[in-house]
Structure 1
């Protein structure tokens, strides 16, 4: 307190404390090193675990040369493994590149449950698509990347890869996520809110993609042809497609239904099929115990006609754990798509995926003046704007269009 009152600077006070032995410089250094060590270990994106099988401590370390972006490491005791981890990050501190930060960021989001494995796989696929190792921004040390570098990278990517506004959204998500994470870790000083706030991307820079609206939904002439075929060719796959036409569920939700989800006037949607790559890069398919989105967990009300469909499904699969099974195995969503493709061939109509059935359902509800709030709930959308923007397409026949226009314009 005397030093503070005497007008001596903090630097002079510290010097006097060191000289008088009040503060031990070695102890301070050790505490700082210990803090650094704890910070490095707490930010390590991979779990550290003990295997009783071989009595070893194990983890992964980032490795940009490995196809999975990481490499397996093990040691006899935990301290040796932690020493290895700390040594790795200290040695790479000055050699961090964009791919290193991407790996840390994506692994961290997966570790803390911010994203699911299928989203993590999509991030990795998009990263490989957009961030070529030959691009200057990927060869430059992360701390040296500038705003002009990012602007050039984004504009050249849009131009060279012929990105639409929709496909650009995937690139934007990665850039924002990587650099926000990098800033939080002290790897860069760039602000993404400032960068994207100033970034100007005129409409003509994006690729224009003409959508064949006829192929987005089944037309009002095709719907009765398709439903008639399904009803007169009863099997478990056709009944699944018919149920989707009648309820608009996502095909992954349909594939994950269980008998107990069926109620007297509605179907409880609380599960979905997911597909992701495991640690060895092999595709895995499993059921996730909640729908694709928060709004996706819902009760889908159905018309009386669905009771006939459900009765046929019950006859075909009376004792199955899942509603749709064949030879004791759950029917996966991809087989429903294959079946629909075959039916389109038989009926000689344009090929469409099961997602187009879902769009057809949304379009039908809106055309029949169902309340917006009901439509969004049935579709599992948090906002009706999503349904109207992405799921509504006119599917009226030429005859209907002409008749309605004639009725409207009669002067």
Structure 2
């Protein structure tokens, strides 16, 4: 009790109660953030004080431990990684943490000889050998490789920032010939042809008749008119519509509990007031078809009493989840007899349709919410015609006779002869004209 009282008296941060959230808040010391503190909260003030005491005592032990040379000498790369991840959970989203943990488990954990080695003893050669072993095993494409090796890079950057060391063995030296070539996939696997789109929309209408309470089918059809990301589509609200345009400025995201990095569990989906990047905040024109689909969605929500903060695509439990629309697309593709194409490929269809109908790539980039045109051209522009239509188009162009084609034989053509160009004389004998 004496120690408890002492800790609470020395606690350097204020303790306050949030009327809105009905919880007690304070800050505690945290060496891995720029502010050197982190915020904690509890429902009861007594519980918050208990957490302050427990955290402070543990933090003091850890701080003293880090001051000892033996701690750093014996600290393995694996232990350093988890210390780094404890810091990282305060810096990035839980989805990023989940992806990093997936890469760690897949690429790093199968190599105990590397991750269990004291991080100060790992040499550049050790790092090179590890990266090359992973490449030999998985034949990664360039993007996947950089995501994988980026973990090691960030871990050592954290070690330098924590004053554990002043150097890093990371140098990303790997034989580039080991990269699996990144080939642009076939258009038939990436976009819907006009016929496939029509069949899928007909199937969505049929499924909607069988289950009129679910507006997921309307969401699928609307995305052919908007080309938004799935999370952006499901976060649309009536407030976003201004006459013939709609404002894309939020998204639906999944969050995870990062308290146990080995067993991260989903906390559900949440609407957030931002998009994937700053360029994602944009206005889109509404087609006549889009406005019809939106009005049908509004009518169904009113008919069945579904209302949640004016969001368009809702059910009894709030905003529809990505699984709801994914399931409709997956089952719809199977029903009409085409390979399953995801919601993201509706977005690619939208982009490709605009581009091939004369819309400037700069405009296509903007309506997709991309930062640069290269991303749009490389990953979103595909041929939306069927193979039969493509062949027919190529033949028609090659077989067409140009209006201004030359007639007659070569003897009928006027040949222009250019005068022979003589070699220049000796530069020494060249004289510039004298000025008067």
Same-fold call, TM cutoff 0.5 = yes
The residue number in structure 2 matching 1:25 is none
Asked if 1:183 is matched to 2:160, the reply is yes
The residue number in structure 2 matching 1:214 is 188
The answer to whether the 8 Å contact 1:265/1:301 transfers is yes
Q: Find the aligned partners of 1:154 and 1:403 in 2 and give their Cα distance.
A: 48
142, 146, 159: which is aligned to 1:169? Answer: 146
The residue number in structure 1 matching 2:405 is none
The answer to whether the 8 Å contact 1:249/1:379 transfers is yes
What secondary structure is seen at the aligned counterpart in 2 of 1:342? helix
Q: Find the aligned partners of 2:394 and 2:110 in 1 and give their Cα distance.
A: 56
153, 162, 170: which is aligned to 2:130? Answer: 153
Superposed CA deviations along residues 289-340 of structure 1, whole A, max 9, x for unmatched, are 2112111122122222211111111111134422111225221111100111
Q: Find the aligned partners of 1:367 and 1:265 in 2 and give their Cα distance.
A: 24
What secondary structure is seen at the aligned counterpart in 2 of 1:149? helix
The residue number in structure 1 matching 2:366 is 377
CA shift in 2, pair 1:186/1:171, >3 Å = same
- CA RMSD across the alignment: 2.6
The residue number in structure 2 matching 1:311 is 295
The residue number in structure 1 matching 2:75 is 96
What secondary structure is seen at the aligned counterpart in 1 of 2:191? coil
**Superposition deviation, residue 342 in structure 1:** 1.0
Q: Find the aligned partners of 1:48 and 1:145 in 2 and give their Cα distance.
A: 35
Return 5+ residue gaps in structure 1 as ranges: 1-40, 60-73
Q: Find the aligned partners of 2:51 and 2:349 in 1 and give their Cα distance.
A: 51
CA shift in 2, pair 1:223/1:293, >3 Å = same
Q: TM-score, normalised by structure 1?
A: 0.77
Write out the 4+ residue segments of structure 1 that deviate beyond 6 Å after TM superposition.
Answer: 207-210
Q: Find the aligned partners of 2:183 and 2:81 in 1 and give their Cα distance.
A: 30
Asked if 1:398 is matched to 2:390, the reply is no
Superposed CA deviations along residues 383-409 of structure 1, whole A, max 9, x for unmatched, are 121111111222311222112211333
CA shift in 2, pair 1:101/1:335, >3 Å = same
Asked if 1:85 is matched to 2:62, the reply is yes
CA shift in 2, pair 1:55/1:325, >3 Å = closer
Superposed CA deviations along residues 86-123 of structure 1, whole A, max 9, x for unmatched, are 13433533222222332333333432x4x212112211
Comparing 240-249 with 130-139, which one deviates more in the overlay? 130-139
Q: Find the aligned partners of 2:329 and 2:41 in 1 and give their Cα distance.
A: 48
The answer to whether the 8 Å contact 2:132/2:174 transfers is no
**Superposition deviation, residue 263 in structure 1:** 2.1
Q: Find the aligned partners of 1:317 and 1:134 in 2 and give their Cα distance.
A: 53
The answer to whether the 8 Å contact 2:244/2:286 transfers is yes
Return 5+ residue gaps in structure 2 as ranges: 1-28, 402-436
Q: TM-score, normalised by structure 2?
A: 0.73
The residue number in structure 1 matching 2:227 is 248
The answer to whether the 8 Å contact 1:164/1:209 transfers is no
Comparing 390-399 with 93-102, which one deviates more in the overlay? 93-102
Asked if 1:229 is matched to 2:230, the reply is no
The answer to whether the 8 Å contact 2:30/2:38 transfers is no
Find the structure with the greater CA-based Rg.
2
Q: Find the aligned partners of 2:317 and 2:362 in 1 and give their Cα distance.
A: 39
Q: Find the aligned partners of 1:82 and 1:190 in 2 and give their Cα distance.
A: 26
Q: Find the aligned partners of 1:86 and 1:217 in 2 and give their Cα distance.
A: 55
Q: Find the aligned partners of 2:270 and 2:78 in 1 and give their Cα distance.
A: 29
